[in-house]
Amino acid sequence: MESQIKSGGEINISQIWERSRLLVTDTFPEPPIVLRIGDSIIGTLGNFSASTGKAKSKKTFNISAIVASALINDKVLDYHSNFSDNKRKILYVDTEQSPFHCLKVLERVLSLAGLPLDKQPDTLEFLCLRGSDPKTRILVIEHVIENSENLGLVIIDGIRDLVYDINSPGESTHLITKLMQWTDEKQIHIHTVLHLNKGDDNTRGHLGTELNNKAETVLQVTKNEFDKNVSSVTAMHIRDKDFEPFAFTINEEGLPEKIQDYEHQRTGASKGFDYAEVSEEKHREALNLLFSASSLISYSILIEKLQSSYAEVGHVFGINKAKKLKTFLENKRMILKEDKFYRFNPEFYY
């Protein structure tokens, strides 16, 4: 980073240009896979992922399982970690909870990993940054990342607290750029946590939109509508093939425990057609039809054309359903937003 800055703070464009050039003769190794659910790739070095869910959905319990898995480089809950010996260090940053509650999380992680509670693991650094402002939090995290040897995994539980305004495009872009910079330059994996909106299943604010667009995987933790003691984990967005959703409950020891043979239930009654059950071929057919006249479409035209193009492939619905379908397609990265327009992403993985 410093080599790109000239004296006086001026950016050295020539060095960035030279560093950014890509040749067809270049070769690059595949990024090491460090986190899986079954056969699905959740996290690789040089990328970042996220967990999201509404308040009290047990997101932090789910994160505890991920960290415990990384600590022992083995399977915990449904997560299986595989960090090389020079990438075993973990940084856990909590921006929301008091030291008292942070200690509870740390004890939970160690218990899940089967490690003693009277000795801090050398491979785990836990920071409570509740009392700091967003700018200071970023500076502290960056300092620890740059000065930690053998760092492989960074958890940021509360990424919303790294910005002043969650709807600021400038702040959101700056923060996501930081995540990409840290993961690329230090070859680590970062997993963040962000809340969902109360009224729908969209990640919060402009930051949530940027996170969806750039993250390798976005996991969604959802409290069961009929059994509040049960939470399920699904893929809101995943670059690799989707995994079979799983569910967990909190056992008598206060630890997340997988529910075997759990039958996942839908929330609420289905009205009209369920766009989540439309086949990949039908989605692709409708979207190819929708974007046949123009590669970029505004929001108002998109909503109108969603109704007509899906009607032509056999699915008829109203404007409210069209708006929900647009959100579904965007979360699945089947359509991508560019400024004020939307475009079809034919390389989506359904």
Higher pLDDT, 280 or 152: 152
Domain shared by 306 and 222, yes or no: no
What is the helix (H) or strand (E) element at residue 343, kind and residue range?
strand 341-344
Q: Is residue 81 located within the same domain as residue 204? A: yes
Report yes or no on 3 lying in a domain. no
Residue 312 to residues 176, 180, 281, 305, 336, Cα–Cα distance (Å)? 39, 41, 13, 11, 22
User: Nearest 5°: CA angle at 150, between 185 and 215?
Assistant: 45
Confirm whether 57 is domain-assigned.
yes
Structural domains in the chain (count) = 2
Closest CA to 226 of 268, 272, 177: 268
H/E run at residue 104? helix 99-113
Query: 215 and 162 in one domain?
Result: yes
Tokens of 182: 């840290």
pLDDT tens digits for 31-73?
999 999 999 999 999 999 999 988 888 999 999 999 999 999 9
Angle formed at CA 101 by CA 100 and CA 103, multiple of 5 degrees: 70
Question: What span, in angstroms and rounded, lies between the C-alpha atoms of 224 and 56?
Answer: 11
| 133 located within any domain | yes
What confidence category does residue 269 fall into, taking pLDDT thresholds of 50, 70 and 90? very low
Q: 282 and 199, same structural domain? A: no
Pairing of strands 124-128, 89-94: parallel
> 253 and 135 in one domain?
yes
Owner of token pair 């009205």: 271
pLDDT digits (tens, 9 = 90+) for 292-317: 989 999 998 998 899 889 888 888 77
In this predicted model, what pLDDT tens digit does every residue of 331-348 receive, in sequence order?
778 899 888 899 999 887
Question: Do residues 307 and 180 both lie within one domain?
Answer: no
Looking at the fold, whether 159 and 290 belong to one and the same domain comes out as no
136, 246: one domain: yes
Contact between 4 and 15 (Cβ < 8 Å): yes
CATH number for 316: 1.10.10
% of the chain with per-residue pLDDT over 70: 90
DSSP code, position 23: -
Do 123 and 184 lie in one domain? The reply is: yes
Q: What CATH number should be reported for the domain holding residue 140?
A: 3.40.50.300
3-state secondary structure of 31: coil
CA dist 323 and 303 (Å) reads: 6
Question: Distance (Å, rounded) from C-alpha 331 to C-alpha 326?
Answer: 9
Is 95 inside any structural domain? Answer: yes
SS3 of 42, please?
strand
Same-domain check for residues 135 and 73: yes
Q: How many CB atoms lie within 10 A of CB 282?
A: 15
Who contacts 239 (Cβ-Cβ below 8 Å, separation ≥6)?
41, 216, 217, 349
Domain of residue 284, residue span: 275-344
Does residue 207 belong to any structural domain of this protein? yes
Q: State which of 209, 226, 258 marks the end of a domain.
A: 258
Do 138 and 101 reside in the same domain of the chain?
yes
Higher pLDDT, 112 or 3: 112
Is 249 in the same domain as 286? no
Residue 21 lies in a domain: no
Of 258, 283, 308, the position where a domain reaches its end is 258
Query: Among 203, 224, 258, which residue terminates a domain?
Result: 258
Q: Is the pLDDT at 350 greater than 70, yes or no?
A: no
